[in-house]
Structure 1
Amino acid sequence: MKLKAAIATFALGGLSMAAHADQIVKIAISGPLTGPQAVSGKDDENGLRLAIDQLNQKPIKVNGQAVKFQMLSEDDQADPKTGVQVAQRIIDQQPTAFLGPQNSGVAIPVSRLTSAAKIPMLTVASNPQLTRLGYDNIFRTGASDSVLGSSMATFAVEKLHAKTAAVIDDRTAYGQGLADQFIEKAKSLGLQVVDREFTNSQASDFLGILTTIKGKNPDVIFFGGYVPQGAPMAKQMVARGVRAKLLGGDGICADDMAKVAGAAATNVYCSMSGTGLDGTPEGRDYIARYKAKFNTEPQAYGITYYDGMLLLANVISQAQTTDPAKLVLALRNASFKGVAATYAFDKTGDLKNAPTTVFTYKDGQMVAVK
């Protein structure tokens, strides 16, 4: 009898311990961790890691049980085919949410997988098509191309007093979509587009394109693409004697632009979702903690992954659930003030009132244009 009682007591004690064990919640992320965009992809991962570490220090509770977050990270190489493969591998591990992919060309095909799995997908991918696919689980945490491209066309006319523009894009879903939105807004403002050129996301030599554009003598050149092409393009514009300013979206808004382009970066202007980290105490605190942990400067998107994770944790806490399908519904009605923006979504999943800031480069640093 005593043995049976001891076994029963031990079993009850084990159940009690199990009941109070931490609940592990898996958070998926995919992005370009290798290749030309690796600096940006690693920044995304760092932003998410910083948020998860912060949350795990003081865990939220769901139904009285502490929640610990675990990151599942995969390298999608900014390639749609690879992105679909790694996304499926992550989804098979049953994460609660999927942050990313960063690139529109990857995010669009991956969205079909996350929708089928009924997992909330929070992404900075900016191509407008993404939120027009009819999936209710997609939440864009940054400005769309229509906002970023339009803001730069307006900036070119109102601040730089440009009359003519040339446009280059890298043929990615992001670059082409951004360029198309710039052109659409430019035409409505009377900004004449005198040339449209194309490159690719692996190119490094733009002298031929720039020679053609120089003959058209535009006031500005708008580039739809990323830093690995934008930085050498800026340098080669100076070398070729092109007088135009180089404009772009958030893909060229990163400290690496200044590191690679050098003095030519002072000729560059880019628009980015958010209000700029240096402009608020919360932003400066993020920069300090990021640099202390990773010993490097934050880039373009990491702050949005940080905010996205805090948004998700806030929704989990308020809804008292970690069920992905229920979180999709909860995110539809969410409102959360993060470091870079206030996150609330319209019926398509786009960020409401997405703020944008125009930056340039001075003394090797990204600075907001006042």
Structure 2
Amino acid sequence: MSISRNKYQLASVVISVVISNPAWSDEVVLIGNVAPTTGSIAHLGKDQENGALMAVEEINSKGLVIQGKKVLLRLDSQDDAGDPRIATQVAQKLVDEHVVAIVGHGTSGTSIPASKIYSDAHIVQISPSATNPTYTQQGFKTTYRVVATDAQQGPALAKYAATTLKLKTVAIVDDATAYGQGLAREFENAAQSLGLKIVSRDATNDKAIDFRAILTKIKGENPDAIMFGGMDATGGAFAKQARQLGMHARVLAGDGVCTEALSELAGPATDNVICSSPGISLGKMSGGAEFAAKYQKRFGIPVVSYAPYSYDAVNVVVKAMKSADSTNPEKILAAMQGTDYKGVTGPIAFDPRGDLLHGVVSIFNYKNGKKTLLDEIRM
């Protein structure tokens, strides 16, 4: 596929801890990173990129030797703007640039269409944040992820709503993306099996800013809660407008909404949000406090969400590289199934599809705008 210079023009940057003097190395190896670093969820994409960059910088500073050669890693970072069409263009671009592995993409809606391109090229793709089950159910041997799936996250959130919050009725709204629809579907199936009544099912889109028509309809249905499948940029406005309409229903959401940035987007309405995340909380991670401190020192901002997962994703790729004693993409891919790595986010090992063997889903609420852990559910 050729890359045209049109409105979907690609943005990229190759990042390395050593930019102008790679003389100490015998080989320079590119690891691709793809995330939405522009657009409404750019804060999440930049967080992913920062985590991957931190891992590359640390590995380079320690020195990496493969087949007796000194290897310098460089992060080939691409912006797909959360757009599936740009994602496939970016994927082909990275294949053409001979990256040895991909960290990304940042969303399910971009990870899934890009995955066939990486599969055709026999390049491992390890996502730090794509949760839609379809991503690893396509029969590709190249797809991996370091987070739990929506098939785990949706039921965990539904179970918490039914058994802990004792809710009886729920309205469901999704943003019509692969992520939002997938999470909402998994939640709905689990909720119904637990005896929750679904009073309505509506869809918006991931660019929407005004939800008052949908919310006014739902207000008339008077549910105990509204489950919103989407990202924080839309979920924040959704929760805020529900509060402005005087609605008392809880807002339930997944990891796309469950970020540290939500309080800035929703204001006091965050206090009515219960959300899930497909992993353990940063404060509970082994080395989480140390990671947070290093991240703050390096970038001058706190972790938003996915940085620890992209950090671990890079380290998993490098561990496979060491196990294969090769920088050949196909040999790295062959070593991935044997992964047994203790990362910042926890123990990482994969089933034959590339999903984590031991998934954990965390449940949070917000108190005075601060994200607070309520429960951990091991799947």
CA-CA distance at 1:91 after TM superposition: 1.2
CA-CA distance at 1:22 after TM superposition: 3.2
CA-CA distance at 1:20 after TM superposition: 7.6
Counterpart of 1:210 in structure 2: which amino acid?
L
Q: Deviations over 1:24-78 (max 9, x none)?
A: 1100011111110111110110010111111111022112222221001111010
Counterpart of 1:73 in structure 2: which amino acid?
S
CA-CA distance at 1:260 after TM superposition: 1.5
Please give the alpha-carbon distance, in whole angstroms, between the structure 1 residues aligned to 2:173 and 2:311: 31
1:77 is aligned to 81
TM-score (norm. length: structure 1) = 0.93
Flag structure 2 segments of 5+ consecutive residues without an equivalent: 1-21
Residue 278 of structure 2 corresponds to residue 273 of structure 1: yes
Segments of 4+ in structure 1 off by > 6 A?
A: none
Residue 322 of structure 2 corresponds to residue 317 of structure 1: yes
CA-CA distance at 1:248 after TM superposition: 0.9
Residue 103 of structure 2 corresponds to residue 99 of structure 1: yes
Aligned partner of 1:298 among 280, 299, 303: 303
CA-CA distance at 1:280 after TM superposition: 4.1
1:333 is aligned to 338
Please give the alpha-carbon distance, in whole angstroms, between the structure 2 residues aligned to 1:280 and 1:91: 33
1:345 is aligned to 350
Please give the alpha-carbon distance, in whole angstroms, between the structure 1 residues aligned to 2:246 and 2:269: 12
Please give the alpha-carbon distance, in whole angstroms, between the structure 2 residues aligned to 1:20 and 1:103: 36
Q: Deviations over 1:226-279 (max 9, x none)?
A: 001000111111111111111111101111101121111111111112211112
Partner secondary structure for residue 146 of structure 1: helix
Please give the alpha-carbon distance, in whole angstroms, between the structure 2 residues aligned to 1:194 and 1:122: 37
| C-alpha spacing 1:20/1:74, structure 2 compared with 1 (3 Å) | closer
Please give the alpha-carbon distance, in whole angstroms, between the structure 2 residues aligned to 1:30 and 1:280: 24
Percent identical: 38
Please give the alpha-carbon distance, in whole angstroms, between the structure 2 residues aligned to 1:156 and 1:92: 47
Aligned pairs for 1:1-370 within 5 A: 21-123=25-127, 124-280=129-285, 282-370=287-375
CA-CA distance at 1:305 after TM superposition: 0.3
Answer 1 or 2: which has greater helix percent: 1
- Tell whether the 8 Å contact from 1:127 to 1:178 is kept in structure 2 after alignment: yes
Please give the alpha-carbon distance, in whole angstroms, between the structure 2 residues aligned to 1:240 and 1:365: 23
CA-CA distance at 1:114 after TM superposition: 0.2
Bigger radius of gyration among the two: 1
Partner secondary structure for residue 349 of structure 1: coil
Partner secondary structure for residue 261 of structure 2: helix
Q: Deviations over 1:78-120 (max 9, x none)?
A: 0011111111111100001011111111111100100011000
- Tell whether the 8 Å contact from 2:224 to 2:249 is kept in structure 1 after alignment: yes
- Tell whether the 8 Å contact from 1:359 to 1:366 is kept in structure 2 after alignment: yes
Partner secondary structure for residue 369 of structure 1: strand
Flag structure 1 segments of 5+ consecutive residues without an equivalent: 1-17
How many residues get paired? 353
Counterpart of 1:193 in structure 2: which amino acid?
I
